[in-house]
Amino acid sequence: MSPTQAKEHHGAAPPPVPRLLGVPGSPERTRPDGSGDRVPSDPAGATSPVESWDAPQVDADVSAAVGCVLDAVLTERVARAHAVDEQFATDLAARVADFTRAGGKRTRSQLLWWSLRACGDDGATAVAALRVGAALELLQTCALVHDDVMDGALLRRGRPALHADLRIRYAGSSPAGRAGRFGDAAGILAGDLALAWADDLIAETDLPAPAVRPVRRLWSDMRTEMVAGQYLDVHGQATTAQALPRALHTACLKSALYSVARPLALGAALAGSDDATMRALDAAGRCVGMAFQLRDDLDDVFGDPHRTGKSGGADIREGKPTYLTALARARAAAAGDDRALAVLERSLGDTGLTDAGLAEVREVLDATGARAVVETKIGRLVARGLRHFDGAPLEPGAGGRLRELLRRAAEGAPDSTPAPDLTARESGR
């Protein structure tokens, strides 16, 4: 909720977000929430980048609060990068910082915050929670930058993808053919840098003693799950594996856990929740996270690009082994529908697939009933997830906010970032 929305909702503007700690005489920057407030930078890299956080202030605009923490952390990291090497800092560190600041809805850090609050935390661990939320945003940068390299995507959020931007930057000064390889390599390194900064942020955060082991274990598991899910995704593209259980398992590892279940668990762990609450939130997060991914698969093919912020059919052109296409293939085979099988066979992985070709795929997904089955599955997953959620002993007010966040995530609510040029997700190879 933006400060303007909060004012309309509550009848009064929320109090300002607390100022960041700074070094005397250090330059000031504008707060990322657009308020015009000036905040001192912190090139020394204080372990706790805020003086104090009043929980209701963060409640009014979680995204802005996380943005303040990110701004301080990224300013300090880029300054340290300049001390290492100017070229590295300008080309890579600054781009990683800019990409992360641009952000999106910051859904993961919002889920973490409202999980913390719903589990009864009154703001005592707010600084730690916002820092862990900022680390999640850096981890998201790593995932997106690496994903763009692996998919050969030229644009992200309507702008050149990070690796493509560097490819363009050096196209005129590199021998023929080397700029592309350089851009890909630089993209991998940029994702690695974002991951390193995320890990540093977790390591440097003063966690409550009871939360140290569970938070660090969750963070470790989440990173491994992300890599496993991404590997299974590219493995499926390379081998055209289409088994339905495998498609669901890949979606769970690649997206459901990382996007929903783990942020919920991190917030609950920071709040010191008991095992029963942790289990209920984990079950809810897995169900809603899977619904989130299945909705994303549908939106890729059927969604309005101006609403989703992505051009249509990227998953089809890249040959991603989604549950939607695996289901269509299985149902076509069971019905002996050779035409539908032929359309899927020639279209999946065709980077040059035309709009007419994509329309054929849409028709097959409808005719086989795959689209309707996935829609039904999403509804059942959301209902099951919310039943698990409703069984957890949560604070009513914050619990209601968290429940709404989960519901909206599963429904594929539009991103707040502008939709890109609709030619964005073309192949870069």
Phi, psi angle pair for 21, to nearest 5°: -65, 145
- Largest Cα–Cα distance of the chain, in whole Å? 74
Indicate the fold that domain 209-415 takes in CATH: Farnesyl Diphosphate Synthase (1.10.600)
What local confidence, expressed as pLDDT, does residue 306 receive? 61
For the question of whether the overall pTM of this predicted structure is more than 0.85, the answer is no
What local confidence, expressed as pLDDT, does residue 111 receive? 97
| Contact criterion met (CB below 8 Å) for 381 and 410 | yes
Q: 11: how many CB neighbours lie within 10 A of its CB?
A: 7
Burial class from Cβ neighbours inside 10 Å (0-12, 13-18, 19+) for residue 367 reads: middle
What local confidence, expressed as pLDDT, does residue 416 receive? 37
**Separation CA 208–CA 212 (nearest Å):** 6
Domain ranges of the chain: 1-206, 209-415
User: pLDDT tens digits for 164-187?
Assistant: 888 888 887 877 678 788 889 999
Block residue for tokens 């999640």: 136
Higher-confidence residue of 175 and 318: namely 318
**Separation CA 91–CA 279 (nearest Å):** 44
Does 308 have pLDDT greater than 70?
no
- Output b/e per residue, 323-352; b: 16+ Cβ within 10 A: bbbbbbbbbbeeeebeebbebbeebbebee
DSSP strands (E only) in 197-286: none
Block residue for tokens 């289901």: 327
Determine the 3-state secondary structure of 159 from DSSP.
Answer: strand
Using a pLDDT cut of 90, give the percent of the chain over it.
63
H helices of 16-125, in order, are 55-60, 62-84, 86-88, 94-102, 107-118
**Token pair belonging to 174:** 């590199």
User: pLDDT tens digits for 36-90?
Assistant: 333 333 333 333 444 466 888 899 999 999 999 999 999 999 999 999 999 999 9
Residues β-bridged to residue 20? 50
**Token pair belonging to 298:** 């549908």
Look at residues 131, 163, 170 and name the one whose alpha carbon lies nearest to residue 147: 163
Look at residues 254, 270, 238 and name the one whose alpha carbon lies nearest to residue 144: 254
**Token pair belonging to 361:** 């795929």
Does 319 have pLDDT greater than 60?
yes
**Token pair belonging to 215:** 């938070």
Helices 355-367 and 275-302, interaxial angle, to 10°?
130
User: pLDDT tens digits for 197-254?
Assistant: 999 999 999 999 999 999 999 999 999 999 999 999 989 888 876 789 999 999 999 8
**Separation CA 38–CA 353 (nearest Å):** 49
Find the mean pLDDT for residues 259-267.
97
User: pLDDT tens digits for 384-394?
Assistant: 999 999 999 99
Burial class from Cβ neighbours inside 10 Å (0-12, 13-18, 19+) for residue 82 reads: middle
Angstrom CA distances, 24 to 35, 50, 77, 127, stand at 23, 15, 19, 22
Higher-confidence residue of 247 and 33: namely 247
Burial class from Cβ neighbours inside 10 Å (0-12, 13-18, 19+) for residue 213 reads: exposed
Residue 19: which residues within 8 A CB-CB, separation 6 or more?
Answer: 37, 39, 40, 50, 51
Query: Would strands 159-160 and 155-156 be described as parallel, antiparallel, or unpaired?
Result: antiparallel
